[in-house]
Amino acid sequence: MRTSRPLVAVLLVAHAALLGCAQGRAGEGDARPSSGRDAGPSAPDAFVASIDAAPLDAWVPEGVDASFPDAFYPDAAYPDAFYPDAFTPDAPTRPTFSVRFLANGGTSWVPIALTADAPSGPIEAAMGVGGTSDILLLTHTELFVFNTISHAISGRRSRDSVFPEVSGVRLGDGYSVGDATGGSINVTLMARNADTWVYGWNHAARTATFDRFVAGVDLGDDWHGPLAPPTYEQYGIVFIPDNTAGWATADPARSPCDRTPITQYAVVFGWDGFGPRGMTTSIWDAGCFLFVNKGTFGSSVYPPFAMTGAPADPFTIDAIAWSSGLWLFTHG
């Protein structure tokens, strides 16, 4: 039987494991279980971690020189032709920004009307703040706080002033772990090539404290398995601490974990860079620290995106967040 521990502690351990980090000092090996749910981390400090780096030649395509990241990640320079509004916030061709909400256990997405001070887009990352009704929204240049009850915006400020380490980076999305009422909030920002920045977040002060950077190529072995999302481009990631709706399930044939129901999990959307262009959905189980299911966007792997009101084109999704349900931020 698993020993119970405070929810915040569980979430913080899950957060470290989601980055593929082993507990303990560098060189001590990986304390994460390879399967099952009974073995827990060996160290209480989820942020004293080493990286489970997979050998580059195990996943770099043949003929690609890994010393030139732009060759492997052609979007690393983020050409304006691919996403014209990314570096021109005042461009007249700005895409339409919209919000949809799916309540926990709901069956259809509901469109949300925005107040006049809402960002006009595009949103690069969205993270719910546990213990509050707020969601952090990041555009390429600004930070906004979106309230899920009033749908109003507060706390607008420069993104670089809060997260200077990601200045100029085109983010794929982000997620948060913890509860503001307990004072333990961690925010993770992820670029399209899976490069990752981790921060401590003070929600009352709207300030961030930089913790560490993890290169996409250094994410743990669980990020390179058959059920992991492709690291070519990450389009969305959200950590969900409540699976009472039963949306997340493990693949009974391919999951490396046991088949105990999932209680907390993450969903990651990605594209492998090969045609035909399609979005994949991967489920990461916080109970065993591994990806346990994968399929196409809108499939039974993750039912919310097959429900009424879900976007038909997954590439219109800018970001996704959790706050008593799923909040989807789209353009177009």
Return d(Cα 238, Cα 248) in angstroms, integer. Answer: 12
pLDDT digits (tens, 9 = 90+) for 171-196: 989 999 888 776 778 999 999 888 99
- CB-CB neighbours of 157 under 10 Å: 12
pLDDT greater at residue 181 or residue 150 = 150
The dihedrals phi and psi of 254, each to the nearest 5 degrees, come to -110, -15
50: three-class secondary structure by DSSP: strand
Return d(Cα 170, Cα 139) in angstroms, integer. Answer: 9
Beta-bridge partners for 331: 97
Give the pLDDT of residue 271.
79
Give the pLDDT of residue 100.
95
Does the global pTM surpass 0.75? Answer: no
- Among the residue ranges 31-35, 176-180, 258-262, 312-316, the one predicted with the least confidence is 31-35
Question: Is residue 101 pLDDT above 80, yes or no?
Answer: yes
